[in-house]
Chain A
Amino acid sequence: MWTVVACLLPLLFVSVFIFGIQTLIITAVSVASCLLVEVASQKALGRKVTVADGSAVITGLLIAYVIPPGVPYLLPVLGAVMAIYIGKHLLGGLGYNIFNPALLARAFLLATFPVAMTSSWLPPLRGMSIFSRLGRPLDAISTATPLAVLKTQGMAAVSQQFGEVPKIYSTFFLGLRPGAIGETSGLLIVLAGLYLMCRKYITWHIPVSVLTAIALLTWIFGGPDYFGGDPLLAILSGGALLGAFFMANDYVTCPTGKIAQLIYGTGIGALTVLIRLKGGYPEGICYAILLMNPLSSVLDDWFKPRRFAPPLGGVK
């Protein structure tokens, strides 16, 4: 667990330099409330307090990473209650939750505070003035994410605001654009993901299938004509990378079989593109993962590991 925490922290540091100290504060609020809610829930439910296992820290980080950094502090607190108490402990505790707790929190907040959750983005800072935004009313500086611009105004507006292709790729890859903390630096997410793969904590199956499905389907359906979409931009924008590497392959809520994982990942990618292109929200990976979560155990039931050898006379 702590390795995953360590893999998530570089993103936070980079965000502080891109968006200011505000990101650190919102993350601290989120992590602290998750830890508190974890202790309170386990006490209230008469279970052993296992707050030291690090799972609440991960949830806290992930909640902070998927909400706009400029939201009021109440939001991550409510998110923590939703994620840890309702999403995790009421569903049976660690290992038994059906839905990814952090995404459950995001979906809940997006439905409850739609304005704050869609407009409290911070534009990247100029220079190293990370403390410049303290004490200023946040809504005054809110801005829009590339996916929202793309949805409402089209690709031309994206290019105008965030740069032309191919410069936009590097801008996005490094994270210099408005977005949630977890959307900032694709580079760091990929590096952290590769590290987790090298340590054999995760395998390639889910991230690769999610991203392949997003890229492929965006390429086919995402442009003005068929096969006219921009697959690279689709992967680099929004929460696609964070979702693919840190959310979709959450052990508890994803399938365990490798074939099941490939189907699960492809499903997430397909639903993401469907929501992005046809749905009402600019970004869809959060709902895509939440929709696929409950299918995990079904997929595992369908695709059992192959036994060493069947008994003589076949399986009864």
Chain B
Amino acid sequence: MTALLTFPKGGVHPPAAKELTASLAIEVMPVPDELEIILGQHIGAPCTPTVAAKDEVKEGQVIGEVVKGLGVPLHAPVSGIVKGLGQSAHPMRVSVPSLLLATNHEAAPASYARRDWRQFGKDELLKMVHGAGIIGIGGAGFPSHVKLNPPPDNPVDTLIINGAECEPYITADHRQMLEASAEIVEGAQIILKILGIENCWIGIENNKPDAIAAMGKAARESSGPGRITVAPLKVKYPQGSEKQLIQALTGRKVPAFALPSAVGVVVHNVGTTKAIHDAVALGKPLYEKVLTVSGRGIARPANLLVKVGTRVSDLVAYLGGVKPELAKVVMGGPMMGFAVSTLEVPVTKTTSSVLFLTEDEIDATPHSPCIRCGWCIEACPMGLEPKEVAIHVEAGRAQDTAKFGVFECFECGCCAYVCPAKRPLVQFIRLAKMKAKKLG
């Protein structure tokens, strides 16, 4: 067997901890009585509500639109009554506007009929993707229709479907690749048609042999027209990072601050690809999310299909509560996610996991001064100098950190993972970005 594909510089090997949920099929979680739908789910301008308090809405109905700027519409995840505007806790932005929706449990769930998407042209397909509120649900939240319509001066020749799922604990993409392989492959065919190209790679880390087999089978059985190839990848974090994945599969390096289309590549996560399939082949908007609830601090770890707007507290109640050893709740993966201070946080389109971590699973050692060991420099897949950024931030010189590449950092957390002084390097870098932007 040939060497597995990977990116050459940096990266770490955190314990995968996926065994908690890898073999658990995706469960449909019952809809809670109330949903809290954040208006700004994507990168770009937040939605303005198109419904008012006391309005009755139907599942799949548009409830928010972007008036000006980049964005996609927002849909009602259930049928019910709008309760009004609220404020939601947010792991990063502290507090954001949201819509409160009371679920009507009596209403019949929406049904969507399969249609032949091959009859549609590129523009119609793009409109469907936009209209269904599709964004990059692997985490970034970038509106997909923009990615699918690259500027004409950047001809794209390769589509990459990202099934690496390199973050520890998370198995949501893994389960979708097993349970919805055909839909994902068809989604990839739709994207190939929109882009007008034929070549597609599906990159999957080698620790998911069942997913590689399932996706390979689905790709072989696919009726085309595109050529879809499954590429097993070496298990190394952050294999699923867009730039690292592109380098691993094509050898091309996306320039700093540029989009993948600059090197002729478009990348979509498997979850997004499935959502594009649903939007185009079924006409179903994106208002549900497969996510992994895991960690040793939750009574019953699971892979769940939940409505966007479901609160973390609802997840906890459904899964039998938290254990007394619970020490930290993280939204997203352990490497890139954010710790939250309250369980009253709603799931968004981009939530891939909620982790309930115990004392044993986190490292709460207080951090100490940098001893300049340089391990962070070795670990950084982008060739940056995290230690210098942190030292400058500590010295009150955040404005001077651009030269160390803070704006090229995508916050994968490799540096903080290897730091022997337990320094919160990613937090230092986030602070540096904020201050450097403000002052620069």
A152 nearest CB across to chain B (Å): 40
A13 nearest CB across to chain B (Å): 27
Q: Are B9 and A312 in touch, CB under 8 angstroms?
A: no
Residue of B nearest to A200 (CB): B375
Q: Are B371 and A95 in touch, CB under 8 angstroms?
A: yes
User: Hey, which chain B residues are within 8 Å of A307, CB to CB?
Assistant: 256, 382-384, 405, 408
Residue of A nearest to B407 (CB): A311
In this complex, the member of A93, A96, A252, A309 whose beta carbon has the largest number of chain B beta carbons within 10 angstroms is A309
A94 nearest CB across to chain B (Å): 5
**Is B111 interfacial (CB 8 A cutoff)?**
no
Mask, B1-14, CB within 8 Å of A = 1, is: 00000000100000
A312 to B254, CA, bound (A): 9
Also in contact, A305 and B369, with CB within 8 A (given A251-B374, A256-B377, A312-B255): no
Chain A interface residue count, Cβ-Cβ cutoff 8 angstroms = 19
Chain B positions 5-25 with a Cβ under 8 Å from a chain A Cβ: 9
Interchain CB contact (< 8 A) of B371 among A251, A304, A309: A251
Q: Are B369 and A310 in touch, CB under 8 angstroms?
A: no
Mask, A230-263, CB within 8 Å of B = 1, is: 0000000000000000000001100011000000
Q: Are A305 and B385 in touch, CB under 8 angstroms?
A: yes
B419 nearest CB across to chain A (Å): 12
Q: Are A306 and B383 in touch, CB under 8 angstroms?
A: yes
User: Hey, which chain A residues are within 8 Å of B408, CB to CB?
Assistant: 307-308
Also in contact, A94 and B369, with CB within 8 A (given A307-B405, A308-B408, A312-B257): yes
A305 to B405, CA, bound (A): 11
Q: Are A308 and B253 in touch, CB under 8 angstroms?
A: yes
**Is A225 interfacial (CB 8 A cutoff)?**
no
Q: Are B368 and A308 in touch, CB under 8 angstroms?
A: no
Q: Are B385 and A96 in touch, CB under 8 angstroms?
A: no
Mask, B233-265, CB within 8 Å of A = 1, is: 000000000010000000001111110001000
User: Hey, which chain A residues are within 8 Å of B258, CB to CB?
Assistant: 311-312
A311 to B259, CA, bound (A): 11
A33 to B256, CA, bound (A): 51
B306 nearest CB across to chain A (Å): 35
In this complex, the member of A50, A53, A95 whose beta carbon has the largest number of chain B beta carbons within 10 angstroms is A95
Chain A positions 85-111 with a Cβ under 8 Å from a chain B Cβ: 93-96
Q: Are A53 and B368 in touch, CB under 8 angstroms?
A: yes
Q: Are B369 and A95 in touch, CB under 8 angstroms?
A: yes
User: Hey, which chain A residues are within 8 Å of B383, CB to CB?
Assistant: 305-308
Q: Are B387 and A309 in touch, CB under 8 angstroms?
A: no
A302 to B256, CA, bound (A): 21
Q: Are A311 and B369 in touch, CB under 8 angstroms?
A: no
User: Hey, which chain A residues are within 8 Å of B384, CB to CB?
Assistant: 305, 307
B121 nearest CB across to chain A (Å): 32
Interchain Cβ contacts within 8 Å, total number: 64
User: Hey, which chain B residues are within 8 Å of A95, CB to CB?
Assistant: 369-372, 421
A307 to B369, CA, bound (A): 25
User: Hey, which chain B residues are within 8 Å of A305, CB to CB?
Assistant: 377, 380, 383-385
Interchain CB contact (< 8 A) of B382 among A53, A93, A308: A308
Chain B positions 264-282 with a Cβ under 8 Å from a chain A Cβ: none
Residue of A nearest to B381 (CB): A308
Q: Are B368 and A50 in touch, CB under 8 angstroms?
A: yes
User: Hey, which chain B residues are within 8 Å of A94, CB to CB?
Assistant: 368-369, 371
User: Hey, which chain A residues are within 8 Å of B377, CB to CB?
Assistant: 256-257, 305
Residue of B nearest to A92 (CB): B369
**Is B373 interfacial (CB 8 A cutoff)?**
yes
A293 nearest CB across to chain B (Å): 12
Interchain CB contact (< 8 A) of A96 among B369, B380, B381: B369
B382 nearest CB across to chain A (Å): 4
User: Hey, which chain A residues are within 8 Å of B243, CB to CB?
Assistant: 308-309
User: Hey, which chain A residues are within 8 Å of B405, CB to CB?
Assistant: 307
In this complex, the member of B257, B262, B369, B372 whose beta carbon has the largest number of chain A beta carbons within 10 angstroms is B372
Interchain CB contact (< 8 A) of B255 among A251, A256, A257, A309: A309
Mask, B198-211, CB within 8 Å of A = 1, is: 00000000000000
User: Hey, which chain B residues are within 8 Å of A312, CB to CB?
Assistant: 255-258, 262
A93 nearest CB across to chain B (Å): 6
Chain B positions 341-386 with a Cβ under 8 Å from a chain A Cβ: 368-374, 377, 380-385
User: Hey, which chain A residues are within 8 Å of B372, CB to CB?
Assistant: 95, 251-252, 256
Q: Are A304 and B385 in touch, CB under 8 angstroms?
A: yes
B108 nearest CB across to chain A (Å): 51
User: Hey, which chain B residues are within 8 Å of A96, CB to CB?
Assistant: 369
A305 to B382, CA, bound (A): 9
User: Hey, which chain A residues are within 8 Å of B262, CB to CB?
Assistant: 312
User: Hey, which chain A residues are within 8 Å of B385, CB to CB?
Assistant: 256, 304-305
A28 nearest CB across to chain B (Å): 26
A309 to B383, CA, bound (A): 9
Chain A positions 260-316 with a Cβ under 8 Å from a chain B Cβ: 304-312
Q: Are A308 and B373 in touch, CB under 8 angstroms?
A: no
User: Hey, which chain A residues are within 8 Å of B256, CB to CB?
Assistant: 307-312
A2 nearest CB across to chain B (Å): 12
A260 nearest CB across to chain B (Å): 10
B296 nearest CB across to chain A (Å): 28
A307 to B380, CA, bound (A): 10
Residue of B nearest to A95 (CB): B369
A10 nearest CB across to chain B (Å): 23
Also in contact, A309 and B368, with CB within 8 A (given A256-B373, A256-B387): no
Residue of A nearest to B7 (CB): A308
Q: Are A309 and B253 in touch, CB under 8 angstroms?
A: yes
A305 to B254, CA, bound (A): 18
Mask, A181-204, CB within 8 Å of B = 1, is: 000000000000000000000000
User: Hey, which chain A residues are within 8 Å of B257, CB to CB?
Assistant: 311-312
Residue of A nearest to B421 (CB): A95
A200 nearest CB across to chain B (Å): 9
A207 nearest CB across to chain B (Å): 15
Given contacts A95-B370, A304-B385, A309-B255, 17 further A-B contacts (CB under 8 A): A94-B371, A251-B371, A251-B373, A252-B371, A252-B372, A256-B372, A256-B373, A256-B374, A305-B377, A305-B384, A307-B383, A309-B253, A309-B254, A311-B255, A311-B256, A312-B258, A312-B262
Q: Name 13 interchain pairs, CB-CB below 8 A, sorted by A.
A: A94-B369, A95-B369, A251-B372, A251-B374, A256-B372, A256-B387, A305-B380, A306-B9, A306-B383, A307-B408, A308-B408, A309-B256, A311-B256
What 8 pairs between A and B have smallest CB-CB spacing? A256-B374, A95-B369, A311-B256, A309-B253, A251-B373, A307-B383, A308-B382, A312-B255
